[in-house]
Structure 1
Amino acid sequence: MSATPSPPDSPHSSTSTKRKSVRPPSIVVETLGATTSETKEGLRKINNYLLKKEIGRGAFGTVHLGIDENTNTEYAIKEFSKSRMRKKEQMDLFRRGGPRGRGRVMGLGVGRGAVAAAAKSTNPLDLVRGEMAVLKKLNHPHIVRLFEVLDDPSGDSLYMVFEMMHKGVLMEIEVDEVAKPYSDDMARRYFKEMMLGIEYLHANDIVHRDIKPDNLLLSKDDVLKIVDFGVSEIFVKGNDRLKKSAGSPAFMAPELCVAKHGEVSGKATDLWSMGVTLYCMIFGKTPFVSGNLLELYDMIKEAPIEYGSISGNLLDLFHRILDRNPDTRITMRELRNHAWITNDGTETMISEEDNCDVVSEVTEEEMNNAIKSIASIFAVIKAVSKFKRHSRSLSQQSLNKMMADVKREDAIKDEELNAATRNLNV
């Protein structure tokens, strides 16, 4: 399949094109009254989405190739078990001794941390309301888009509809195999796309914490996008110090491979993982390989790294980004100006200012309102329908009263949710 012209913000053009307008916020549709059905051919449907085949499997569910029968558009639809998510949330709360902690955790699978109230909620979608509040704010050409969340109240499944990345993962990395490496030029291009996405996340106070080739997908237009925010964390503005370890062991920074390591820089750990990912692109394997987890951690902390015969600029970049000291490890801003990234000054990138539309902090109200009650929607529909039926006899005062009733119902439900959150945080 030949590639079509790339969007203005992709690195095909981001090396020379400056964005002229601010990206609009993402629009995520929440459908709480979805219906699951089955076709004559035995395929499942959730509303207008036909689940064609399974294309992936994770800890909490599966990923399907889905077709919107209204538009014939393909999507990647993640199906989660609500009961398994509830159980995981309750276990996390039990281990933490309650909903405490510095940061909020978001994910494409389980909303945790600031959404701890969801553990006792009767609405299963509350389990992901925190992540949705964040994903609605993020809109970047190198971060996968979430379009819709659907819940069938009569079933155990929750569905999240993402844009389809037709070319799949950046590369398959296996412990006992060496993948086909990329050329320096292709590796540079994809690495710069990853840089732009991670830089945007960091500017918005989010660390990904699980950067690896598996979480970098390619679109049909050959544009790289970052996926799977399952262990990502929002940090306090200006303070990216985190205590928890997270991510895939082979890509974890050495400062995370220490028992009781204390606070570490989330941004610095992301940069290390980016370096390991670049190593995979150049060599087709990770720099450290072991079937024993403790041995792997020891290797990450102190084993020499083999670089073979590579250019001086690339070798210098590896030394800077795979620096075991997070305090002297290269920063994102320094990375932008590195000779290998700029190809000895012959390539430029979209500016940091233009790349990073900083979103406002996610408020508690936005967390609570990330998923609206379907009852409110029905109430509005009912009011509008009644107005149409009696439009000739209804006065403006009567219409205002109808809408006031709808708003009052919303306020009561919001207060009930806020009260539940306050009680859980006591």
Structure 2
Amino acid sequence: MASSDDHNNVTLDDDSCCTSDGDQDNEDEWIAYLMKNDESPEIIYQPKIKHAKLIGNRYLKGGVLGEGAYGKVKEVLDTYTLKRLAVKILKNAKLKRIPNGEQNVLREIRLLKGLSHKNIVTLCEVVTCDEKQKRYMIMEYCFTVMQSLLEKTPSGKFPLWQAHLYFAQLVNGLDYLHSRRIIHKDVKPGNLLITHDQILKITDFGVAEELDLFALDDKISTSQGSPAFQPPEVANGHDTFSGFKLDTWAVGITLFKMTSGVYPFEGRTVFTLFENIGKGQYTIPDVLKHESELKDLINGILMLDENERMDIWAIKVHSWTRRKFIKTAEFIKPNDNDDMSVLPYLEALHPESVVPDNEEDDNVLNQSGTSDHFRNHANVSNSSANQSSGIAPQEKKSRKISGCKSQ
């Protein structure tokens, strides 16, 4: 606790705190002064001290961006390239308590390592720390998630031109996945990230499934996605169903929500929701009554029979998907304040007061490792800083630093 007035900034030496038996007046004066100081409206509180924490001696952790079933997502700064990234922090103990938790994480890592597309989130590196029993998934940073944008709007929907911008990118990303025989199985606004440049990124491959290379069709037997995005064949309890058509149905539900602000199927319980989905009956809101092309696309995607439902290629070449929209208003976005939450931690890592002025100070810093860390990472070449992967070339190989290792 500190005061902005000079007369409140009092430092008491050891001697000034001691009084003799005959010095009661002085003691009373001190008590009166302290009580007055305590009641002063000028009192301010010192902010909580930020402690810098590095992942793998490279990534500086910042604030929390979000939290999912498997763990927290935080902002990080790559101290080699000064690139803003995100990290999904996974605790081994927590994964063991979640059914198939560890298996799902390993599957997601394996799939993301083999994917490269502008509409698929990029996995930069995976760092495991045996000492802390944690796994860190270093990923590209995205400004927000589509679900948050929808919740920001009073109507719960986007202008048609903005919905079309995101939808076309979602279709491109999903077309790429299906061409690699990968079924996402959990397409929804909560798994669609948006960058500052309004680029959509599909994320969360924890329940995704990769079809066998020699499989004769795309039939699967399980679906672990969100109930509101499940197709009729899942709601009606079919033993097997088309994996690709499961994804396209979820794309249709997402499109319906983005353009109308509501979901086509609802229910107070999962049972009633599935009952409504299983019937396949829905009503397109009046807000879209003049959008004939859009209504035709929605009806083609949300077909009750999966055999009649549009696949991703048919959606991609549909007239509404290929339509050119004119921007009619500003983007709907969460807010303009997107300060880096990592900055206070960066200041804690390299405070001005620790810059060595002499050899003695330098030795102290060497003991803590701060000076060595600064010298090792200060002279970063522009070529490594501009790499899209966010990983310096010399770090591509596995490394083990401070009990952590890169995969």
- TM-score tier, shorter chain, comes to 0.5 to 0.7
**Separation (CA, whole Å) in 1 of partners of 2:166 and 2:399:** 41
| Structure 1 residue matching 2:85: 3-state secondary structure | strand
1:111 alignment partner in structure 2: 103
Is 1:49 aligned to 2:25, yes or no?
no
In the alignment, the residues of structure 2 paired with residue 232 and residue 198 of structure 1 have an alpha-carbon distance, to the nearest angstrom, of: 12
Indicate the SS of the match to 2:266: coil
Structure 1 residue 334, shift from structure 2 partner: 1.7
Q: Deviations over 1:348-389 (max 9, x none)?
A: xxxxxxxxxxxxxxxxxxxxxxx99868x9xxxxxxxxxxxx
| C-alpha spacing 1:206/1:275, structure 2 compared with 1 (3 Å) | same
Contact 2:280 2:304 in 1 (8 A): no
Q: Which residue of 2 aligns with 1:165?
A: 142
- Residue in structure 2 matched with residue 77 of structure 1 by the alignment: 87
8 Å Cα contact 2:108/2:206 also seen in 1:
no
* CA distance, structure 2, for counterparts of residue 60 and residue 153 of structure 1: 18
| Superposed CA RMSD | 2.8
* Amino acid of the structure 1 residue aligned with 2:185: R
2:298 to 298, 318, 333: 318
Letter in 2 for 1:135: L
CA contact (8 A) 2:184 2:207 kept: yes
Choose from 211, 218, 228 the match for 1:240: 218
Normalised by the size of structure 1, how large is the TM-score? 0.60
How many angstroms apart in 1 are the aligned matches of 2:324 and 2:138? 41
Q: Tell me the distance in 2 between the aligned counterparts of 1:85 and 1:298.
A: 32
Distance 2:150 2:158 in 1: 13
Q: Deviations over 1:156-208 (max 9, x none)?
A: 2210000000133355567xx96442222222221110011000100101000
Matches within 5 A, 1:131-150: 131-150=108-127
Residues 161, 325 of structure 2: 8 Å contact kept = no
Matching of residues 187-206 of structure 1 within 5 Å: 187-206=163-182
For 1:1-400, list aligned pairs within 5 A: 41-46=50-55, 47-88=57-98, 91-92=99-100, 110-112=102-104, 128=106, 130-169=107-146, 171-172=148-149, 179-237=155-213, 238-259=216-237, 261-302=238-279, 304-307=281-284, 308=286, 309-343=289-323
AA partner of residue 156 (structure 1)? Q
Q: TM-score, normalised by structure 2?
A: 0.63
In the TM superposition, residue 241 of structure 1 has moved relative to its aligned partner by 0.4
Do the aligned partners of residues 303 and 205 (structure 1) sit closer, same or farther apart at CA in structure 2, a change above 3 Å counting?
A: closer
Shift in CA distance, 277/258, structure 1 to aligned 2, threshold 3 Å? same
4+ runs of 1 displaced by more than 4 Å?
170-174, 371-375
Counterpart residue identity of residue 58, structure 1 = G
Change in 2 beyond 3 A, CA 1:180/1:292:
closer
Shift of 1:49: 1.4
Determine what percentage of the aligned residue pairs are the same residue: 31
Q: CA deviation at 1:87?
A: 4.1
SS at structure 2 position matched to 1:244:
coil
1:133 Cα deviation from its structure 2 partner: 3.3
Q: Which amino acid aligns with 1:341?
A: T
Q: Decide whether the 8 Å contact of 2:128 with 2:134 is kept in 1.
A: yes
Change (3 A) 1:158 1:277: same
1:148 aligned partner, one-letter code = E
2:111 partner SS:
helix
Q: C-alpha displacement at 1:73, in angstroms?
A: 1.6
1:254 Cα offset (Å): 1.1
Does the 8 A contact of 1:167 with 1:222 survive in 2? no
SS of the residue aligned with 2:103?
A: coil
Amino acid of the residue matched to residue 255 of structure 2?
Answer: L
Structure 1 CA distance, aligned partners of 2:75 and 2:292?
A: 43
Q: Larger deviation: 303-312 or 289-298?
A: 303-312
Aligned residues: 279
| Residues 76-123 of structure 1, C-alpha deviations (whole Å, 9 max, x = no match) | 1000011222344xx54xxxxxxxxxxxxxxxx7434xxxxxxxxxxx
Q: Secondary structure at the match of 1:278?
A: helix
Look at both structures and tell me which one has the larger radius of gyration over its CA atoms: 2
Letter of the 2:70 counterpart: F
Per-residue CA distance 1:280-305 (angstroms, 9 max, x = gap): 11012222222311001011112631
Report the AA paired with residue 76 of structure 1: A
Cα distance 1:202–1:318, how it changes in 2: closer, same or farther (>3 A)? same
Distance in 2 separating the partners of 1:255 and 1:303:
10
3-state secondary structure, aligned to 1:325 = coil
Q: For the Cα contact (< 8 Å) 1:79–1:158, is it kept in 2?
A: yes
Q: Distance in 2 between matches of 1:328 and 1:220?
A: 38
Cα displacement string for residues 297-323 of structure 1 (whole angstroms, at most 9, x for unaligned residues): 011112631212241111111110011
